[in-house]
Amino acid sequence: MTPDDLALLIHAGATGVMAGLVLFVHVVHYPLIARVGPDEFVGFNREHQRRTTWVVAPAMLFELVSAWWIALGWARIGVPAWAAWAGIGLLGVVWLSTFAVQVPTHGRLLRGKDVGRVALLVRWNLPRTLAWGARFVLALWMLHAAWR
């Protein structure tokens, strides 16, 4: 197995983990946050952030590094340039939403329950969910394109 093959596998795996996780968060976890009582909310949100970071940070970093490996070596790897760079564009949507909306909103929720901010999490998580889903389909397609 070449480093390029490994990068494609890591990319598809990390992207699949994140696509599944963000779908779960969007459909199950974020809507349930609104049901946490105000007395337990700050502690719940603090634990949510701490535990989530341990799960998503490694997957997001593996995805980021492997996506750039593929984009910078698309010709050698055997994937079309448009696919590699579309993946980077979708990754930009994901990271922008994560670090411009999700992370700061969770930080503000450490001050106390705010139903409007919880609704903001759900609303702004939809583009992130769609982008990660599209990235996963694209990652699988690139894996197929490179190995056919």
| pLDDT attached to residue 48 | 93
**Beta carbons within 8 Å of 11's beta carbon, 6+ residues apart:** 62, 63, 66, 67, 69, 70, 139, 142, 143
Number of domains observed in the structure of the chain: 1
Where the chain has pLDDT below 50, the residues are none
Which pLDDT score is estimated for 94?
A: 97
pLDDT at res. 135: 98
pTM: 0.92
The pLDDT value recorded for residue 148 is: 85
Q: Which domain holds residue 109?
A: 3-147
Whether residue 82 contacts residue 102, with contact meaning beta carbons closer than 8 Å, is answered with: no
- The token duo for 113 is 């329950």
Check residue 73 and give its pLDDT: 96
